[in-house]
């Protein structure tokens, strides 16, 4: 599978731009702020139906314009697939495959397997548990449509239960029977999500450790620990035991929406004890493990977006990544960098076909 071409209209800083891509390596080079990352984000948009860098969809429309359109052609299973994502101010975002609208964006997730590696990944270390849960969920959802539907349903029921708790507080009432209906729904959905996350971490961890060792060549011990309330006790019991606290807080304080994926190096939190270089290596190993996991499970080589490659790694580690390109580990690769000569020297060393776009 690979991306053949893309056209952007009023997307971020582009009024209108089109690119025809090489099936192997594509490099965007130019000064900072010129729009290199925006092209990668447009490609990401076509896989996930949203921006990687800006969660507010309307802010991806070029300043002063009313809409954006991303139009692209992919080659998948020897078929041409046209994917179009568009948004007009004041209206819902539209995602189409071969001219047909998706009713639910979730139906599209997993159709274009894709992994992005970016300096913004540091949020996975420095931000709260929600960021790491989203990472787990995005990997599992690319492979398991049923999991994504369960997750959407779970979040809907949590919102309904929280609204009920607020209603109780506001009106000084309490209805245990209505609450128990939400508790039962959450228990069924939450148990299933918990088991799938647990299985994912068990399968993902050895792949991650192997990549970390390959990149760093060091003896550092890295670990991913899945933390969940459900590891200690059954979900229904947790919900029933926390009802006094939940009524006081007016929201649901226990459940899989509080899960975390703890990052450790030498048995210490990498956020506090990892150097900048150690954190970068940890994240690159995490994303390369994501790539390999998706490839192994789906049988398709995901598209790999590598934003600001030299910000993430020193030259020796970039060389190790390039060795993987040589060994046919990767399919189609997109790279951004500020130095054209440096980028060209590296991609030439792969002896693969490539294109360089000077922006």
What's the pLDDT tens digit per position in 42-51? 999 999 999 9
Which residues lie across from 253 on neighbouring strands?
none
Return residue ranges of the chain for CATH 1.20.1050.90.
128-298
Of 136 and 215, the structure prediction assigns the larger pLDDT to 136
Return residue ranges of the chain for CATH 3.40.50.300.
1-113+300-359
Give the pairing type, strands 333-337 and 25-29: parallel
The pLDDT of residue 114 is 95
How much is the pTM? 0.92
Query: Average pLDDT of the chain?
Result: 92
Is the four-CA dihedral 224, 190, 159, 228 of positive or negative sign?
negative
Q: Name the DSSP letter for residue 24.
A: S
- First-to-last alpha carbon distance for the chain, in angstroms, is 26
The pLDDT of residue 329 is 78
Asked if residue 158 has pLDDT above 70, the reply is yes
Per-residue pLDDT, averaged over 74-91, amounts to 95
Residues 6+ apart with CB under 8 A from 143: 110, 294, 297, 298
Per-residue pLDDT, averaged over 89-111, amounts to 94
The pLDDT of residue 312 is 58
The pLDDT of residue 16 is 96
- Contact by Cβ (8 Å): 45, 85: yes
- Contact by Cβ (8 Å): 86, 11: no
- Contact by Cβ (8 Å): 290, 115: yes
Per-residue pLDDT, averaged over 198-219, amounts to 91
The pLDDT of residue 294 is 94
Residues 6+ apart with CB under 8 A from 223: 205, 262, 263, 264, 265, 267
184 class by beta-carbon count within 10 Å (0-12 exposed, 13-18 middle, 19+ buried): middle
Asked if residue 17 has pLDDT above 70, the reply is yes
Per-residue pLDDT, averaged over 177-192, amounts to 96
Let me know how many helices (H) and strands (E) the chain has, helices first.
12, 14
CATH class of 1-113+300-359: alpha beta
Of 311 and 303, the structure prediction assigns the larger pLDDT to 303
Query: Which backbone phi and psi does 225 adopt, to 5 degrees?
Result: -110, 125
Domain spanning 128-298 has what CATH number? 1.20.1050.90
The pLDDT of residue 26 is 94
Under the banding of pLDDT at 50, 70 and 90, the label for residue 326 is: low
Under the banding of pLDDT at 50, 70 and 90, the label for residue 248 is: very high
Per-residue pLDDT, averaged over 77-97, amounts to 95
Q: How far apart are CA 18 and CA 357, in angstroms?
A: 11
- Provide the 3-class DSSP secondary structure of residue 330: coil
Q: How far apart are CA 18 and CA 6, in angstroms?
A: 6
Task: Return the C-alpha torsion angle 163, 166, 168, 171, nearest 10.
Answer: -120
Residues 6+ apart with CB under 8 A from 204: 139, 224, 289, 290, 293
């Amino acid at each position: 599978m690979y991306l053949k071409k893309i056209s952007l209209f009023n997307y971020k800083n582009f009024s209108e731009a089109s690119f025809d891509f090489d099936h192997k390596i594509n490099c965007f080079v130019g000064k900072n702020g010129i729009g290199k990352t925006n092209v990668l984000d447009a490609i990401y948009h076509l896989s996930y139906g949203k921006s990687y860098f800006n969660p507010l969809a309307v802010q991806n429309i070029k300043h002063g314009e009313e809409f954006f359109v991303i139009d692209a052609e992919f080659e998948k299973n020897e078929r041409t697939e046209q994917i179009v994502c568009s948004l007009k101010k004041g209206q819902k975002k539209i995602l189409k495959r071969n001219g047909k609208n998706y009713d639910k964006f979730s139906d599209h997730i997993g159709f274009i397997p894709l992994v992005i590696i970016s300096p913004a990944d540091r949020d996975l270390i420095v931000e709260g548990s929600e960021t790491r849960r989203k990472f787990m969920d995005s990997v599992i959802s690319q492979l398991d449509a049923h999991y994504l539907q369960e997750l959407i349903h779970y979040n809907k029921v949590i919102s309904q239960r929280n609204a009920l708790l607020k209603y109780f507080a506001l009106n000084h009432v309490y209805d245990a029977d209505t609450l128990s209906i939400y508790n039962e729904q959450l228990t069924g959905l939450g148990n299933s999500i918990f088991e799938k996350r647990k299985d994912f971490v068990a399968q993902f961890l050895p792949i991650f450790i192997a990549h970390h060792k390959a990149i760093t060549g060091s003896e550092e011990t890295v670990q991913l620990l899945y933390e969940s309330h459900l590891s200690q006790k059954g979900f229904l019991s947790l919900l029933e035991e926390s009802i006094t606290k939940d009524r006081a807080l007016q929201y649901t304080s226990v459940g899989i929406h509080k899960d975390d994926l703890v990052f450790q190096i030498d048995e210490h939190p990498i956020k506090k004890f990892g150097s900048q270089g150690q954190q970068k290596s940890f994240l690159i190993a995490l994303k390369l493990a994501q790539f390999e996991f998706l490839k192994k499970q789906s049988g398709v080589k995901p598209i790999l977006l590598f934003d600001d490659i030299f910000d993430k790694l020193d030259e020796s580690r970039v060389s190790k990544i390039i060795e993987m390109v040589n060994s046919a580990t990767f399919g189609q690769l997109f790279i951004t960098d500020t130095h054209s000569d440096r980028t060209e020297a590296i991609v030439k060393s792969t002896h693969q076909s490539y294109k360089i776009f000077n922006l």
